[in-house]
């Protein structure tokens, strides 16, 4: 009974992440790659993303505060951030990065600052939600990883 409840919770949680636009199809593609030889593949990739992206966020913040502003470097940093976010299916993060890049193109520092705050919020929210999701998946157990990864 408990197992069924946990399983239902993981399905519901994942559906919410998609319905609320936090994740897109790329996340499903990564889950499809999980098997007995890589049972935690998605969590490992997501961990890599949050390690990498925390570093990038620090670099972006430093670049924003630097004077004179180097919009080319800012764009390059956010491009990296957007790319790796896209690779894990982080839809809202990816979309806000596109907004940031548009502000870089317009050379709007104020626009970049506003967008950066949104990126940080989206990043933190996604991190918290995915941590909860993976924590629940761990409770369900490795058997469920293989089952839930199938469409």
Partner 1 sequence: MASCRSLGGEIGAPAPHVLAVDDSSVDRAVISGILRSSQFRVTAVDSGKRALELLGSEPNVSMIITDYWMPEMTGYELLKKVKESSSLKEIPVVIMSSENVPTRINMCLEEGAEDFLLKPVQPSDVSRLCSRVLR
What are the residues binding partner 1 (CB under 8 A)? 26, 29-30, 32-33, 35, 37-38, 41, 44-45, 48-49, 51-52, 79-80, 82-84, 86-89
Nearer to partner 1, 7 or 82 (CB): 82
Q: Do residues 39 and 134 make contact, with C-beta atoms less than 8 angstroms apart?
A: no
Q: How far apart are CA 10 and CA 13, in angstroms?
A: 5
Q: Do residues 35 and 96 make contact, with C-beta atoms less than 8 angstroms apart?
A: no
DSSP 8-state class, residue 38 = B
Query: From the CB of 85, what's the least distance to partner 1, in Å?
Result: 9
Residue 23, beta-bridge partner list: 90
Q: Do residues 94 and 126 make contact, with C-beta atoms less than 8 angstroms apart?
A: no
Nearer to partner 1, 4 or 37 (CB): 37
Query: From the CB of 32, what's the least distance to partner 1, in Å?
Result: 7
- Give the gyration radius of the chain's Cα atoms: 17
Nearer to partner 1, 45 or 64 (CB): 45
Query: From the CB of 52, what's the least distance to partner 1, in Å?
Result: 6
Nearer to partner 1, 75 or 144 (CB): 75
Q: Using CA of residue 113, residue 88, residue 10, residue 127, what is the dihedral sign?
A: negative
Query: From the CB of 146, what's the least distance to partner 1, in Å?
Result: 13
């Amino acid at each position: 009974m408990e197992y069924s409840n946990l399983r239902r919770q993981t399905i519901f949680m994942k559906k919410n992440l998609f319905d609320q636009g936090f994740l897109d199809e790329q996340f499903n593609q990564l889950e499809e790659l999980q098997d007995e030889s890589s049972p935690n593949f998605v969590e490992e990739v997501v961990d890599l993303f949050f390690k990498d992206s925390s570093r990038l966020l620090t670099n972006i913040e430093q670049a924003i505060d630097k004077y004179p502003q180097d919009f080319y470097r800012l764009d390059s940093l956010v491009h990296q951030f957007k790319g790796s976010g896209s690779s894990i299916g982080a839809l809202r993060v990816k979309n806000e990065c596109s907004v940031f890049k548009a502000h870089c193109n317009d050379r709007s520092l104020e626009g970049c600052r506003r967008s950066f705050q949104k990126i940080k919020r989206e990043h933190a929210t996604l991190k918290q939600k995915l941590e909860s999701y993976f924590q629940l998946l761990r409770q369900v157990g490795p058997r469920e990883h293989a089952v839930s990864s199938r469409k």
